[in-house]
Structure 1
Amino acid sequence: MPAQLPLLSSQCGRRLFLQRLAATAAGAVLAPTLLQACKGSGSGNGSGSGELVISTFPLYIDPDAPGAPGSVSRFRRDTGIQLRYLEDINDTRQFFARIRPQLAAGRPLVQDLMVLPSWMAQRLIGLGWLEPLPLAQVPNIRNLVPYLANPPWDPQQRYSLPWQSGIAGIAYNIKATGRELASIDDLFDPALRGRVSALLEMRDTMGLLMLADGQDISQPTWAAAQPSFARLEQARKDGQIRRFTGNDYQNDLLAGNLAACIGWSGDVAQLVLEQPDLRFVVPESGGVLWSDVMLMPKGAQHRREAAAWMNWVYEPVEAARIAAAVQYISPVVGVRQQLAKDPATAALAANELMFPDGAMQQRLHSFGPLSESEEARWEERFASITEG
């Protein structure tokens, strides 16, 4: 039986999360140039005045609840730093398209930090569009779990610091499907036609399909991907797949528009607080393991404030609060021990989707690197399916 995520009780329920999703949907249409006009005054030299601005995905931090301020509020209280926390990233490619013109023209963004997938971090490093992180001012970097340190695309850990890692797998509503799902093949069941979605995150969608086809995604090749591309394209033409989504698949799951989809482990763990019929499983053929990282775009002005944020969220007590809410794989040593101390979160300390044991680790696979030309080729083929 595939692993299930344990449920957490919630004093505030899902209403707060839904409010945040609604705010995200509204904020996602704001281009960086419009956001720039709203930016508070800063020192311009990173010396420490002005407003820290962070762009990230929705449902990626603990929210405020009655009598229990969330991390953004606690950080403001503890440090006195003004923080604008934008949950305005729905899909990585769409966000890159928004920020690319300014970065290419050498103009700074409103954002001081961005949380993006590691593959996008690699691209931005290659383009020279990132600032080195002020890690000398982040003493809690000592709490970074060793296996996430010094990734091959940032070997000196100059430009990135992990935020969370997670798993792409199958999310579904047991009442809508009428049965448990366990394999990628289940998403192609004709009984679910028109009630299935897949992710716009190419590596997650294609990674899961290629694993189901018996391919090694740690060394992806164009030839090996063709059967999976063809299968995905046919499912789109046949109407099996309702649409391709970013984080907004969450709304369709809650609304009942989807019976099943490719989704992310932590998202579903939060959504079940509103809809207990939802499930998340790692497919029998394996799940895709990914990491999102904190990055500083070229020209960011508030380096000291950014360092204070990174140091604050790498404190194990604070990181554990975030982990308890988002239920992803924390990059911070000591989080599991913090969760185990509290009866309300002790079950999470034993959750193999948050703290994968040896058996689970063998079922998780990371999508390997693509050259720039390969990346363009894969993305063009993927876009022809998702936008067709």
Structure 2
Amino acid sequence: MTKRRQFVQGIAALSGFSLASCGWQLGNINSARNSGSRNLYIYTWTQYVDQELVQAFTAESGLKVVVDVYDSNEVMLAKLLAGGGGAYSLIYPSDYMVQKMEAQGLLIELNHDRLSGLGQLFPQFQNPSYDPNNRHSIPFNWGTTGLIYNSEILKDAPEDWDYLWQNQSILNKRMTLLNDVREVMGATLRMLGYSYNSKDENQIKAAYEKLVELKPAIASFDTDAWQNQMLAGDLTLAMCYSVDAIKVTRENPQLKYVIPRSGSSLWTDTIVIPKSAPHIDEAYAWINFILQPQVAAMISQRMNIATPNSAGFEKLPDEIKNNQNLFPPTAVLEKCERITPLGELEDIYERYWTRLTSN
């Protein structure tokens, strides 16, 4: 099960934040006002939507926002398929999960005439491979997967995934890998010169065997706990998501984040409206709110996430715009791949993963 990267706590100091000051218009939600239905239910990641932001939206729109959370794409999908998601008008799946949900007929096709600001997205987010022309989703934020290390201990920065194997004795029991089959197998495949999304069983097996060699030196497969361990000095290196790395490096500048030169994964989190959504007008109102440049910039700055909104990007301070961990240069991104659904082959990945992590 793919565990979700945990976003930093909340957007602080949003007092005085006004949607009106952002030039935001309520748009066509009069029907919602008149219907007597005042709640907008959102299903999103743990600690994702900040209450200050929710309150600002409510103050201007009159719509009460109720947030439920999940910690993995798979948990969210299972709930929807079991019929437990009928109250939600908005969900925040990751890119590959958009493909799965669309294939199962769970998403409405968005009416772009009802959305404001799509043209302000960076070009690469206006026609993403996981959802051409944003037919079913709107990008919310994006990032990379890489390595964070203690530069006081490791004087030479890790440059690629093979650093883990080459320095296995130094890193022994002082490194962690993500608890994520597709990320860990994908990174190893990439190191071997293959695709993150390899469909070749021989290549998948080779990646597994390479990881077996590294297994004795791995402290754990972990997605979240490494942060406190790294800050406490108990770890020297961890595989992680950029959003978490940036938070930790701000707490301790001696900790550095790198994107391996052979390439890594590039992920995007999105906003979708499920076909079971009870309140479509309210859902569009929230999306238009999020698409406002000032709102996008505020979220990016406070939550250490990379906005896909070019107009919002321009409102960020230079120190954030120039942060290459947050906004990597094109040359780096060109070597990264999105994780894509692999159908029945995912069972093969899972089989090797179970074998690797259970021994």
TM range (shorter): 0.7 to 0.9
- 1:83 CA drift (Å): 2.1
Residue 385 of structure 1 corresponds to 356
Residue 114 of structure 1 corresponds to 91
Verify: 1:294 aligned to 2:275, yes or no: no
Q: Deviations over 1:303-332 (max 9, x none)?
A: 222222211111111111112233433211
Distance 1:246 1:111 in 2: 27
1:196-345 alignment, distance < 5 Å? 196-217=175-196, 220-236=199-215, 238=216, 240-339=217-316, 345=317
Residue 49 of structure 1 corresponds to 38
Runs of at least 4 residues off by over 6 Å: none
**SS state at 1:159 partner:** coil
Residue 36 of structure 1 corresponds to none
Aligned 8 A contact 2:139 2:269 in 1: yes
CA 85–284 in structure 1, closer or farther in 2 if over 3 Å, else same:
same
Unaligned runs of 5+ in 1: 1-15, 21-42, 65-69, 340-344
Q: Deviations over 1:232-264 (max 9, x none)?
A: 23323x1x2222223444343334443211111
Aligned 8 A contact 1:265 1:327 in 2: no
**SS state at 2:212 partner:** helix
- 1:190 CA drift (Å): 1.7
**SS state at 1:293 partner:** strand
**SS state at 1:359 partner:** helix
**SS state at 2:184 partner:** helix
Distance 1:92 1:387 in 2: 22
Verify: 1:365 aligned to 2:336, yes or no: yes
Aligned 8 A contact 1:270 1:325 in 2: no
1:83-102 alignment, distance < 5 Å? 83-86=65-68, 88-89=70-71, 91-93=72-74, 95-96=75-76, 99-100=77-78, 102=79
Q: Which one of the candidate residues 68, 78, 81 is aligned to 2:60?
A: 78
TM-score scaled by structure 1?
0.74
CA 157–359 in structure 1, closer or farther in 2 if over 3 Å, else same:
closer
Q: Deviations over 1:90-135 (max 9, x none)?
A: x434x24xx51x4334443554322222112211222223344465
Aligned 8 A contact 2:108 2:136 in 1: yes
Distance 2:82 2:59 in 1: 36
Distance 1:321 1:136 in 2: 25
Aligned 8 A contact 1:266 1:328 in 2: yes
**SS state at 1:192 partner:** coil
Residue 127 of structure 1 corresponds to 104
Percent identity of paired positions between Structure 1 and Structure 2? 24
Residue 321 of structure 2 corresponds to 349
Aligned 8 A contact 2:40 2:283 in 1: no
Distance 2:277 2:358 in 1: 33
**SS state at 2:117 partner:** helix
Q: Deviations over 1:168-203 (max 9, x none)?
A: 010123345465333323334222222211113333
CA 179–146 in structure 1, closer or farther in 2 if over 3 Å, else same:
closer
Q: Deviations over 1:57-94 (max 9, x none)?
A: 54x56x68xxxxx53343333333222345542x434x
In structure 2, what residue type is equivalent to 1:210?
A: L
Unaligned runs of 5+ in 2: 1-6, 12-31
Residue 7 of structure 1 corresponds to none
Aligned 8 A contact 2:145 2:265 in 1: yes
Distance 1:147 1:367 in 2: 13
Aligned 8 A contact 1:195 1:259 in 2: yes
**SS state at 1:191 partner:** coil
Aligned 8 A contact 2:118 2:126 in 1: no
**SS state at 2:326 partner:** coil
Distance 2:345 2:139 in 1: 25
Residue 20 of structure 2 corresponds to none
Residue 3 of structure 2 corresponds to none
Distance 1:175 1:18 in 2: 28
TM-score scaled by structure 2?
0.79
Distance 1:253 1:297 in 2: 39
**SS state at 1:354 partner:** coil
Q: Which one of the candidate residues 116, 122, 139 is aligned to 1:145?
A: 122
Distance 2:163 2:147 in 1: 9
In structure 2, what residue type is equivalent to 1:274?
A: E
CA 302–175 in structure 1, closer or farther in 2 if over 3 Å, else same:
farther
RMSD over aligned Cα atoms = 3.1
CA 203–333 in structure 1, closer or farther in 2 if over 3 Å, else same:
same
